């Protein structure tokens, strides 16, 4: 594979990861059962990494997966918002 093509694919992967992280972060912060979501995420990660699905991961990939999830878990629950409030402020 040519260097230019490889760089293009790497750029796409990085951009996709950034976009997915933003989407997941928003979903996590606004989830109606925030604490349950966090607990489920932790459990699911361990099942994924240590179960049958994780046998293909090397130790670096496992650690990077944990780091990624731990970064997301540092998000705090978003404060409640009222989508109609802006109409009342008119």
Quote helix, strand, coil % in the chain, to nearest 5. 75, 0, 25
pLDDT tens, residue by residue, 26-57: 888 888 998 898 899 989 998 989 888 888 99
How many other C-beta atoms can be found within 10 angstroms of the C-beta atom of residue 49? 17
Q: Where are the domains of the chain?
A: 3-75
* Residues contacting 34, CB < 8 A, separation 6+: 28, 77
pTM of the model: 0.66
pLDDT at 85 over 80: no
Tokens of 82: 């009222």
């Amino acid at each position: 594979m040519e260097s230019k093509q490889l760089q293009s694919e790497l750029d796409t992967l990085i951009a996709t990861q950034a976009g997915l992280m933003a989407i997941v972060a928003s979903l996590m912060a606004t989830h109606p059962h925030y604490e349950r979501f966090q607990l489920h995420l932790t459990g699911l990660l361990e099942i994924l990494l240590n179960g049958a699905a994780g046998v293909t991961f090397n130790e670096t990939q496992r650690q990077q997966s944990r780091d990624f999830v731990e970064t997301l878990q540092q998000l705090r629950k978003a404060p409640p918002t009222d989508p109609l409030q802006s109409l009342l402020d008119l």
